[in-house]
């Protein structure tokens, strides 16, 4: 047992991925019989959705209290987080529309659970008018909303509770503490569930390889490639551009200064675990003042996740293409809003992006079975998403520091000599 746990999780997951493909390939359609193991893994993931969103969104909104105190640093950072988050989802949507990664999978051969089909059908039939859409996001019964895992109204409810806590000031503190501590507890629970990943990945990959065959594997390979491409574009264009044109600092110096944190984030797939290294790089190598770095980077590790936002857009299109769900422009807008919110709500831990897929998929009628298809390859993509996420935190910290006179530019320039 101990020997098993001593192997880093990501290595166990990659081994399970390869083994799953080989076993599925040799076993053929019979491999479907072990899909139940993957289904159990996904059922545990679904279990996390409601409490994770509820606790972390409320705590996230309530932390805006500190933002007010920080004034000019706070609103600039928040603006950059939101604008880049939106741009990232649209990038994911653009890549998914152009490359059609899910088109290679014939989702009709995947047994959908009846409830998912029912939901998709209902959605098509009601082809809701604007009024219905608004009514649907009002959480008329919060408990019902949670029981139905109805994510849109849950988000509205969470935002309102967060605002209520802010308005209650000191009297809201005890409730705030409950949510802050609740979100830490939920992160720990998620980590326990993530220990199931190797088994889930093995079973799901065997199932995909055995029943859907090489075409499906190719499609998944393409999704991994597009995820890396999207993240690379965000890092090079969004962050490179931000450093060069808004912060007006040397781009190479920035990347040299942050490279340690990038390496740690890639291997841990956790923005939270990387936080101490990101902070050290920002202060020591990039010349960001302590107050700006600690505020922007710790807030960013929880809410600024552009790699995750991009992926949520891309993965939703992947699912829609695989299961032949037609999406129109209003769906794209819904995805862009939910992708950004999902990235804010995702905790900085491995697999958080996978959990947030439930949020986006449900709202636009993409079957949740898509999660079973992509869960096997999520870890490899998560590593790159996380690297993108933490690089974004550092880029925003440098930019905000440069704009507010909190940057030691000589330090950043000398990152060249490191």
Least distance to ligand ASP, CB of residue 90, Å: 17
Tokens 């079957």 belong to 367
Helices then strands (H, E): number in the chain?
A: 22, 0
Least distance to ligand ASP, CB of residue 69, Å: 26
List binders of ligand ASP among 339-398 (CB under 6 A). 346, 348-353, 382, 385-386, 389
Least distance to ligand ASP, CB of residue 264, Å: 11
Closest Cα partner for 351 from 13, 50, 20, 113?
13
Give 216 or 352: the residue with its C-beta nearer to ligand ASP: 352
Give 190 or 334: the residue with its C-beta nearer to ligand ASP: 190
Nearest position to ligand ASP, beta carbon: 353
Least distance to ligand ASP, CB of residue 163, Å: 25
Structure tokens at 61: 């909104």
Structure tokens at 417: 């000599």
Please give the distance of CA 213 from its chain centroid, rounded to a whole number.
28
| Spatial distance between the Cα atoms of 272 and 200, rounded to a whole number of angstroms | 24
Least distance to ligand ASP, CB of residue 301, Å: 7
Write each residue from 256 to 275 as x if it is in contact with ligand ASP (CB under 6 A), else as -, in one continuous string: -------------xxx----
- Report the residue from 304, 308, 336, 399 that binds ligand ASP according to the rule CB under 6 A: 308
Least distance to ligand ASP, CB of residue 316, Å: 14
The string of DSSP codes covering 240-302 is HHIIIIIS---HHHHHHHHHHHHHHHHHH--HHHHHHHHHHIIIIIS-B-HHHHHHHHHHHHH
Contact 410, 287 (CB under 8 A): yes
Write each residue from 162 to 201 as x if it is in contact with ligand ASP (CB under 6 A), else as -, in one continuous string: ----------------------------------------
Which residue spans within 68-166 are E strands per DSSP?
none
Give 195 or 416: the residue with its C-beta nearer to ligand ASP: 195
Give 35 or 385: the residue with its C-beta nearer to ligand ASP: 385
Query: Which letter does DSSP use for residue 234 in this model?
Result: I
Give 212 or 349: the residue with its C-beta nearer to ligand ASP: 349
Structure tokens at 126: 């009601």
Least distance to ligand ASP, CB of residue 374, Å: 12
| Spatial distance between the Cα atoms of 226 and 374, rounded to a whole number of angstroms | 13
Closest Cα partner for 91 from 323, 368, 385, 386?
385
Least distance to ligand ASP, CB of residue 126, Å: 31
Give 112 or 259: the residue with its C-beta nearer to ligand ASP: 259
| Spatial distance between the Cα atoms of 251 and 413, rounded to a whole number of angstroms | 9
Least distance to ligand ASP, CB of residue 92, Å: 12
Measure the N-to-C terminal CA separation of the chain; round to a whole number of Å. Answer: 41
Least distance to ligand ASP, CB of residue 68, Å: 26
Give 204 or 352: the residue with its C-beta nearer to ligand ASP: 352
Please give the distance of CA 232 from its chain centroid, rounded to a whole number.
16
Contact 356, 348 (CB under 8 A): no
Burial of 183 (0-12, 13-18, 19+ CB in 10 A): buried
Q: Does 335 bind ligand ASP (CB under 6 A)?
A: no
| Spatial distance between the Cα atoms of 97 and 320, rounded to a whole number of angstroms | 11
List binders of ligand ASP among 238-257 (CB under 6 A). none
Contact 2, 198 (CB under 8 A): no
Least distance to ligand ASP, CB of residue 212, Å: 24
Contact 99, 91 (CB under 8 A): no
Tokens 């899910």 belong to 102
- Report the residue from 155, 293, 305, 322 that binds ligand ASP according to the rule CB under 6 A: 305
Give 60 or 350: the residue with its C-beta nearer to ligand ASP: 350
Give 351 or 367: the residue with its C-beta nearer to ligand ASP: 351
Count of residues engaged in binding ligand ASP, rule: CB under 6 A: 16
List binders of ligand ASP among 48-77 (CB under 6 A). none
- Contact residues for ligand ASP, defined by CB under 6 A: 269-271, 305, 308, 346, 348-353, 382, 385-386, 389
């Amino acid at each position: 047992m101990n020997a098993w746990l001593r192997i880093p999780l990501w290595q166990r997951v990659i081994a399970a991925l390869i083994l799953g493909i080989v076993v599925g390939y040799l076993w053929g359609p019979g491999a479907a019989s072990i899909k139940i193991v993957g289904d159990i893994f996904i059922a545990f993931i679904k279990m996390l959705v409601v409490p994770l969103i509820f606790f972390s969104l409320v705590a996230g909104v309530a932390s805006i209290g500190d933002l007010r105190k920080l004034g000019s640093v706070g609103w600039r950072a928040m603006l950059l987080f939101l604008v880049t988050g939106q741009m990232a989802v649209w990038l994911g949507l653009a890549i998914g529309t152009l490359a059609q990664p899910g088109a290679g999978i014939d989702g009709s051969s995947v047994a959908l659970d009846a409830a998912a089909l029912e939901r998709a059908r209902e959605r098509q039939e009601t082809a809701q008018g604007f009024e219905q859409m608004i009514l649907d996001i009002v959480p008329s019964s919060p408990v019902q909303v949670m029981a139905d895992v109805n994510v849109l109204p849950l988000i509205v409810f969470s935002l309102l509770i967060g605002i209520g806590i802010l308005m209650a000031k000191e009297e809201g503190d005890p409730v705030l503490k409950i949510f802050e501590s609740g979100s830490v507890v939920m992160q720990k629970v998620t980590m326990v569930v993530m220990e199931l990943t190797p088994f889930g990945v093995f079973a799901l990959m065997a199932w995909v390889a055995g029943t859907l065959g090489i075409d499906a594997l190719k499609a998944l390979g393409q999704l991994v490639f597009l995820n890396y491409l999207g993240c690379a574009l965000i890092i090079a264009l969004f962050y490179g551009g931000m450093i060069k044109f808004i912060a007006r600092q040397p781009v190479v110096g920035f990347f040299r200064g942050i490279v340690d944190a990038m390496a740690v984030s890639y291997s841990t797939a956790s923005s939270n675990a990387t936080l101490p290294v990101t902070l050290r790089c920002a202060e020591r190598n990039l010349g960001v003042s302590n107050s700006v770095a600690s505020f922007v980077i710790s807030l960013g590790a929880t809410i600024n996740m552009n790699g995750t936002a991009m992926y949520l857009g891309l993965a939703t299109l992947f699912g829609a293409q695989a299961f032949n769900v037609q999406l129109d422009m209003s769906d794209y807008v819904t995805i862009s809003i939910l992708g950004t919110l999902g990235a804010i709500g995702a905790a900085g831990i491995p697999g958080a992006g996978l959990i947030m897929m439930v949020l986006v998929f449900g709202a636009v009628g993409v079957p949740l079975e898509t999660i079973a298809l992509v869960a096997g390859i999520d870890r490899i993509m998560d590593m790159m998403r996380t690297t993108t996420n933490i690089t974004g935190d550092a880029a925003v910290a440098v930019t905000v520091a440069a704009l507010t006179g909190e940057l030691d530019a000589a330090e950043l320039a000398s990152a060249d000599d490191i």
